[in-house]
């Protein structure tokens, strides 16, 4: 088993000491995509292995736009986008854009950096569930990201698989403030 596979297995298993050992030897390993295009950083985020993620980030790996957005490293993301504005609309092999990752994992400042750099608030839905960035922000109850997306022109009525909307997420979370914001921007049933 190669180092990348070992790192991914260590991340999946929450073996923080092994993660730290592997990235100490080669920090770039944390930012190396596997055969499915997923980096160990994104594996850690998807699996909620925060300690493993922190161990990788401590090695200061050379993150791409997707991982900078996902980890909420807004200053570094802004620097990267200043030299590569097209990166604002970068899409991973799983169909999610940097904006999706920022909305779901990275937080408001990463969302802001991407939108200011020209990220499309309504990218074509090219992921298995048809999720828009607005759905991602609503799912994690990030009202500030929802507001930024709506102000940037995100479709308040975008539907993902099964017809689910951001307004449905707000209602599910009993988030009256988010629901009102969505309705103010034209969300309907």
- Rounded mean pLDDT of the chain? 96
Helices (H), the chain: 3-13, 16-25, 40-46, 50-57, 65-70, 74-83, 98-101, 108-116, 133-139, 143-151, 166-172, 176-184
pLDDT category at 127 given cuts 50, 70, 90 is confident
* pLDDT at position 189: 77
Query: Residues spanned by CATH 1.25.40.20 within the chain?
Result: 63-189
Which residue is associated with the tokens 């969302």?
111
Contact 91, 126 (CB under 8 A): yes
Asked whether the beta carbons of 157 and 187 are under 8 A apart, the reply is: yes
Residue 135 CB-half CA count within 13 A = 20
pLDDT tens, residue by residue, 39-69 = 999 999 999 999 999 999 999 999 999 999 9
List, for residues 134-160, the tens digit of each pLDDT value: 999 999 999 999 999 999 999 999 999
Q: What is the reported pLDDT for 36?
A: 92
pTM of the model: 0.94
The per-residue pLDDT for range 82-116, each reduced to its tens digit, is 999 999 999 999 999 999 999 999 999 999 999 99
Domain covering 63-189 in this structure, CATH number: 1.25.40.20
């Amino acid at each position: 088993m190669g180092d990348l596979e070992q790192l991914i297995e260590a991340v999946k298993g929450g073996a923080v000491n092994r993660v730290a050992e592997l990235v100490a030897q080669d920090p770039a390993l944390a930012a190396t995509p596997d055969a499915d295009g997923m980096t160990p950083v994104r594996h850690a985020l998807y699996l909620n292995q925060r300690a493993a993620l922190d161990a990788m980030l401590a090695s200061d790996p050379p993150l791409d736009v997707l991982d900078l957005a996902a980890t909420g490293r807004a200053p570094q993301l802004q620097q990267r986008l200043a030299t590569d504005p097209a990166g604002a609309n970068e899409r991973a092999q799983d169909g999610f854009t940097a904006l999706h990752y920022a909305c779901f994992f990275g937080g408001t400042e990463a969302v802001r950096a991407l939108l200011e750099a020209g990220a499309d608030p309504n990218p074509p839905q090219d992921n298995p569930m048809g999720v828009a960035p607005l759905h991602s922000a609503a799912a994690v109850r990030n009202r500030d990201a929802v507001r930024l997306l709506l102000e940037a022109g995100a479709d308040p009525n975008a539907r993902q698989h099964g017809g689910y909307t951001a307004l449905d997420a707000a209602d599910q979370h009993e988030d009256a403030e988010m629901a009102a914001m969505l309705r103010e921007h034209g969300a309907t049933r």
